[in-house]
Structure formats: C-alpha cells, structure tokens
Amino acid sequence: MNRELENPIERPELHENETEEHVGFAKRFVNYAINSLQKVRSGMKNEWRETQEMAQSFFKVLEHKLNLNERSEPPSKEEVKKALEQLVDVGRFSFFASVSILPGGGVSLIGLELLARKFGVKNFSLVPSSFRKKQEHKHH
C-alpha cells in the first residue's frame, strides 16, 4: 500500500496491518481531541471573566453591607465578620439551590455534612445561614 503522498503531514504512509479505516479513526480522534481542548480553553476564559465579575459584585455587596461610602471610620471586626459570612452564604446558596433541584440532592447535602463532621471538620455547612436559622428556631 505504499503510494506517493500528496501531503505527507495530512496523509501519513500506511504501515503493515493499517487500513484507511484506522487512519480515518485516528483523524476523527485527533479532531475530537482538538475540539475538546478548544472548548475547555474557551470555558476557562469564560470562567475567569465570570470570576472577575463575581469578585467585583462581592466587593459591591461588601461595600454596601458595611456602608463604606457613608462612614469615615473603618468597620468593626464584627461587622466585617458578618459581611463575609453573608458573602459565603451567596456561594452556599448557589450550591444549595443547584444540588437541591437534583433527585436525591437533599440527601446528598446531608450526607456531605455528616461526612465532613465525621472527619472532624467543624462548623461545616452547605446550607445557607438563613435556612439554618429557621431550622434552629423550629427546634427550640
């Protein structure tokens, strides 16, 4: 099956036991891999941009929560702690809402929290604080 090649890069010489089917499969695989890598690269660029936008949004929320534009003195440690907890809740809520809509999502959240406690992770919760406060008030 040795024949003159028009473009040796595009059409490699077939070796013994290789067929056009093998070459076709290899080309499809390479094209699939290239397309997959391009999608990953594009996704990473989007995630980077979205992360920058989220950081700006978090700063605006923090600025608003602490009334930074309306005060001359810096916020107290307690105010900063509460504001940061609120920012953490934004992430918790995103995860909580996403997982909760999946079948078995609630059970998965409980399982993750119990697993974290079993391994000694203290004060770990995927449930936003406003939901925890409601649960705590119901039990008291």
Q: Which residues of 40-79 are buried (b: 16+ CB within 10 A; e: fewer)?
A: eeeeeeeeeeeeeeeeeebeeebeebbeeeeeeeebeeee
| pLDDT tens, residue by residue, 80-118 | 888 788 777 777 777 777 777 878 887 888 888 888 888
C-alpha dihedral sign at 136, 137, 139, 140: positive
In the chain, where the domains are located: 15-65, 75-140
Structure tokens at 47: 């995630």
Q: What is the pTM of this model?
A: 0.39
Name the DSSP letter for residue 74: P
Round to whole Å and give the CA distance between 91 and 129. Answer: 11
Q: Closest by alpha carbon to 136, among 38, 75, 125, 33?
A: 125
| pLDDT tens, residue by residue, 11-60 | 567 677 778 888 888 889 999 999 988 988 888 888 888 888 878 887 88
